[in-house]
A and B are shown apart, each in its own frame.
Chain A
Amino acid sequence: KQEVTQIPAALSVPEGENLVLNCSFTDSAIYNLQWFRQDPGKGLTSLLLIQSSQREQTSGRLNASLDKSSGRSTLYIAASQPGDSATYLCAVPRYGGSQGNLIFGKGTKLSVKP
């Protein structure tokens, strides 16, 4: 059974620092991995989707990597800003399921201090 784990559960950094969020999964037979952002009391916003054949995806100050063999993905945030404060979730499709049939990690709550 696929399990997705995110460590740490919470992270606090000063503004301007580069940081890495971690996501691990137990079954490497994934089609892709998706990173989401969730602001308090809000829905989920898709940040990046990495296909299983890719190693990296970049969007602005965000860079996500995927290593299927080790069951890991990282989300790198460069030059963090207070506006980056949110909970970051990673998710993989349930095997045999469609793209939205996802197994989520419990998230990393990021706080960027001015």
Chain B
Amino acid sequence: NAGVTQTPKFRVLKTGQSMTLLCAQDMNHEYMYWYRQDPGMGLRLIHYSVGEGTTAKGEVPDGYNVSRLKKQNFLLGLESAAPSQTSVYFCASSPPGQGLPAEAFFGQGTRLTVV
């Protein structure tokens, strides 16, 4: 019963390096999301996807790219990491529809430090 799985759990990057965070869900959810959590700022939506092959910008998309080539996977990319991207990143998934009794499920997070 894996739910939402994020890889890796921890990473340290040097400024300017690139990396990809992987999110995988086994609940057959249509929608997937990437959030970042920062002290004093709470959780903020970076990008999201409403289905395979689709992506959309959230609240704080700059400096990130995403891809949803398969329904179960949602990738978050940092092309040129900056210290301001030091954060804890959370992936989430949910069934489609508004106002339905459907919950959002979150992964365990990826703690990223950019030095």
Contacts and interface: CB of A to CB of B under 8 A. Distances in A.
Interface of A: 31-32, 34, 36, 41-46, 49, 51-52, 89, 91, 93-94, 96-102, 104-107
A43 B104 contact: no
A44 B104 CA distance: 10
Given A44-B106, A46-B105, 9 more contacts: A32-B101, A34-B104, A36-B106, A43-B107, A96-B98, A100-B93, A102-B45, A104-B42, A105-B42
A100 B97 CA distance: 10
Contacts of A98: 31, 48, 50, 94, 96-98
Central interface residue in A41, A45, A49, A101, by most chain B CB within 10 Å: A101
B62 interface: no
Counting contact residues on chain B (CB < 8 A from A), the size range is 20 to 34
A100 B105 CA distance: 8
Nearest to A4: B42
Interface of B: 4, 31-33, 40-45, 48, 50, 58, 90, 92-109, 111
